[in-house]
């Protein structure tokens, strides 16, 4: 069965903070549904997470992704210096 989701929200987590981005209506094909659940609003208020604005969570997400990319570059550089090479994710299909 297909799902029609109304008033959907995308929740982005970064560390102990989260932000909700309203996304509206979604139609999901039934073959793509693995699990469906509903948030218990009473239990949600007990979480140690802090809700922040959309702009703040998107900025924190960008900073986190940038830090991961820099870390990955350093790993690849260290491996190259030792004569090792890891294929890039976008070239894995060639193997």
How many domains does the chain divide into?
Answer: 1
pLDDT at position 38, please?
Answer: 80
Residue range(s) defining the domain that contains residue 29? 3-86
The whole-model pTM stands at 0.65
- Candidates 24, 23, 28, 29; CA nearest to 10 is 23
Within a domain: residue 22?
A: yes
Q: Mind listing the pLDDT tens digit for each residue in 53-65?
A: 999 999 999 999 9
What whole-number distance in Å separates Cα of residue 54 and Cα of residue 86? 36
Going by C-beta distance under 8 Å and a sequence separation of 6 or more, which residues neighbour residue 23?
8, 9, 10
- Which stretches of the chain drop beneath a pLDDT of 50? none
Within a domain: residue 61?
A: yes
pLDDT at position 86, please?
Answer: 74
Q: Domain of 17: which CATH number? A: 2.30.30.100
Question: Contact 9/21 with Cβ under 8 angstroms?
Answer: yes
């Amino acid at each position: 069965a297909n799902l029609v989701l109304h008033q959907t929200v995308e929740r982005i987590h970064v560390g102990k903070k989260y932000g909700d981005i309203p996304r509206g209506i979604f139609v999901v094909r039934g073959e793509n549904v693995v699990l469906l659940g509903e948030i218990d609003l009473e239990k949600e208020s007990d979480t140690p997470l802090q809700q922040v604005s959309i702009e703040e969570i998107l900025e924190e997400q960008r900073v986190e992704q940038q830090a991961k990319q820099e870390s990955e570059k350093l790993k690849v550089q260290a491996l190259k210096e030792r004569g090792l090479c890891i294929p890039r994710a976008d070239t894995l299909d060639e193997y």
